[in-house]
């Protein structure tokens, strides 16, 4: 059946020397869209490659401006070692697009309407112009006093993660400024994350400090569980590298001796996989408690004569949650890469194959934790 979707339009602007970085932005938006789909939120990433048709204008940039910059919410600009070709009205076409976005003070996205990313890496000096590098550097410095968000990145993977985190943060902030908005207007309520709706109103007699303490303790427990998951993954990675070298040492040993070594490693994997599952469950349960506290606190805000005090407390809780979510979001790629590496391991013994399946299940639960946490944050933002 037809569904109502909240769509954000994102324009990708850049000079011609950052093709791989542009692709990383589109990939980051694609990943974020998958996480946002259950909340009926969509991001349409637009670039001149797909959305600009041949036309007549005073110059090429004029055609791009008229076709691509008519209706959008966020401009993402990427720079490598070139600032770009100057236009009649700006230092380059990309700079002109940035200036256009900065001047749009009526944008509903506020300060998040412009996001610039600069490559902090030089692969070789043979084809690089020192003058162009200086132009890029000077322009980047000029953004600081104007309050424009910019970040440095060294790899396309790092840029992709930055895009996910910063666009996600922009949308959450936008939703937090709206009146209470149902993110599930055309689907049964049972499809929403469990327990979020249950605490839309605080219990009788529960006060500000009760809810604040409950939220702080829950988010601290959830964050600690997430940190332990990262530690377990590091331990498994180190143990795997060690086991590889041990197997090489046993190249002339009997099958029985090799099997014993592998099964000892498999026992370690099983223990860590079960521990990862427990921590993922702990993080999910405590983030649900945090969600209840934040929404109940917002409900108290509406009943209070001093609404600003309650808003401040809600903001503190949300900032704590956003810090945890940032860690989770940036960890998604490494968790998925870790899972792929585990899947490629051959079937060596029965016990090892069992531990491998268990570890894959654990990584799936960790990925589900990331998705569930993102969805809950959108639920909270829509109700606080």
Based on the fold, state whether residues 226 and 119 are members of the same structural domain: no
Identify whether 281 is part of a domain.
yes
Which pLDDT tens digit goes with each residue over 133-181? 999 999 999 998 888 878 999 999 889 888 888 888 888 778 877 765 4
| Cα 275 from Cα 264, distance rounded (Å) | 17
Identify whether 236 is part of a domain.
yes
Token pair in block for residue 13: 């602007």
- Give me the CATH number covering residue 293: 1.20.1050
Based on the fold, state whether residues 228 and 114 are members of the same structural domain: no
> Which helix (H) or strand (E) segment is 42 a member of?
strand 41-46
Side by side, the strands of the sheet bearing 74-79 are 41-46, 6-13, 74-79, 114-119, 149-153
Token pair in block for residue 134: 């200086």
SS3 state of residue 156? helix
Q: Out of 176, 206, 228, pick the residue that ends a domain.
A: 176
Q: What is the pLDDT of residue 382?
A: 66
Based on the fold, state whether residues 160 and 215 are members of the same structural domain: no
Identify whether 24 is part of a domain.
yes
Q: What is the pLDDT of residue 94?
A: 92
* Below-70 pLDDT ranges, the chain: 1-3, 48-70, 125-126, 179-206, 301-314, 316-317, 320, 381-384
Which pLDDT tens digit goes with each residue over 321-359? 777 777 777 777 778 888 888 888 888 888 888 889 999
Q: Catalogue the E-assigned strands of the chain.
A: 6-13, 41-46, 74-79, 114-119, 149-153
Based on the fold, state whether residues 58 and 124 are members of the same structural domain: yes
Q: In the chain, what is the straight-line distance between the N-terminal and C-terminal CA atoms, in Å?
A: 29
Identify whether 1 is part of a domain.
no
Identify whether 186 is part of a domain.
no
Domain count, the chain: 2
Identify whether 72 is part of a domain.
yes
Q: What is the pLDDT of residue 188?
A: 31
Based on the fold, state whether residues 374 and 293 are members of the same structural domain: yes
User: Residue 199: which domain range?
Assistant: 194-383
- The sign one gets for the Cα dihedral 232, 238, 239, 244 is positive
Identify whether 56 is part of a domain.
yes
Based on the fold, state whether residues 265 and 363 are members of the same structural domain: yes
Q: Out of 127, 149, 176, pick the residue that ends a domain.
A: 176
Q: Out of 176, 211, 241, pick the residue that ends a domain.
A: 176
Based on the fold, state whether residues 123 and 263 are members of the same structural domain: no
Based on the fold, state whether residues 201 and 331 are members of the same structural domain: yes
Based on the fold, state whether residues 117 and 225 are members of the same structural domain: no
Based on the fold, state whether residues 68 and 133 are members of the same structural domain: yes
Based on the fold, state whether residues 170 and 244 are members of the same structural domain: no
Identify whether 183 is part of a domain.
no
Based on the fold, state whether residues 145 and 25 are members of the same structural domain: yes
- Give me the CATH number covering residue 75: 3.40.50.300
């Amino acid at each position: 059946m037809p569904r109502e979707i909240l769509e954000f339009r994102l324009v990708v602007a850049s000079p011609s020397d950052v093709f791989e970085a542009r692709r990383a932005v589109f990939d980051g938006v694609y990943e974020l869209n998958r996480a946002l789909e259950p909340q009926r939120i969509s991001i349409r990433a637009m670039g001149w490659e797909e959305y600009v048709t041949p036309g007549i204008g005073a110059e090429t940039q004029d055609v791009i401006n008229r076709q691509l910059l008519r209706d959008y919410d966020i401009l993402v600009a990427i720079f490598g070692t070139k600032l770009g070709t100057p236009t009649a009205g700006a230092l380059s076409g990309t700079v002109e697009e940035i200036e256009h976005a900065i001047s749009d003070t009526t944008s509903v996205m506020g300060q998040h309407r412009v996001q610039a990313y600069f490559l902090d890496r030089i692969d070789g000096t043979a084809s690089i112009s020192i003058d162009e590098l200086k132009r890029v550097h000077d322009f980047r410095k000029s953004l600081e006093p104007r309050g424009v968000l910019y970040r440095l990145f060294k790899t396309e993977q790092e840029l992709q993660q930055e895009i996910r985190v910063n666009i996600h943060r922009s949308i959450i902030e936008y939703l937090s400024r709206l009146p209470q908005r149902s993110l599930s207007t055309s689907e049964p309520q049972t499809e929403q994350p469990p327990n979020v709706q249950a605490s839309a109103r605080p219990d009788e007699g529960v006060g500000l400090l009760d809810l604040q303490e409950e939220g702080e303790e829950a988010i601290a427990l959830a964050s600690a569980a997430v940190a332990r998951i990262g530690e377990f993954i590091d331990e498994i990675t180190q143990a795997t590298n060690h086991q590889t070298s041990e197997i090489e040492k046993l190249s002339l040993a009997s099958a029985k001796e090799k099997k014993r070594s592998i099964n000892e490693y498999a026992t370690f994997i099983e223990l860590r996989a079960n521990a990862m599952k427990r921590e993922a469950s702990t993080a999910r349960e405590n983030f649900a408690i945090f969600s209840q506290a934040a929404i109940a606190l917002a409900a108290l805000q509406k009943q209070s004569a001093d609404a600003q005090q309650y808003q401040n407390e809600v903001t503190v809780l949300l900032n704590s949650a956003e810090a945890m979510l940032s860690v989770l979001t940036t960890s998604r790629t490494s968790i998925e890469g870790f899972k792929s590496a585990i899947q490629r391991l051959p079937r060596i013994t029965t016990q090892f194959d069992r531990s491998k399946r268990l570890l894959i299940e654990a990584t799936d639960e960790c990925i589900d934790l990331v998705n569930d946490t993102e969805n809950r944050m959108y639920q909270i933002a829509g109700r606080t």
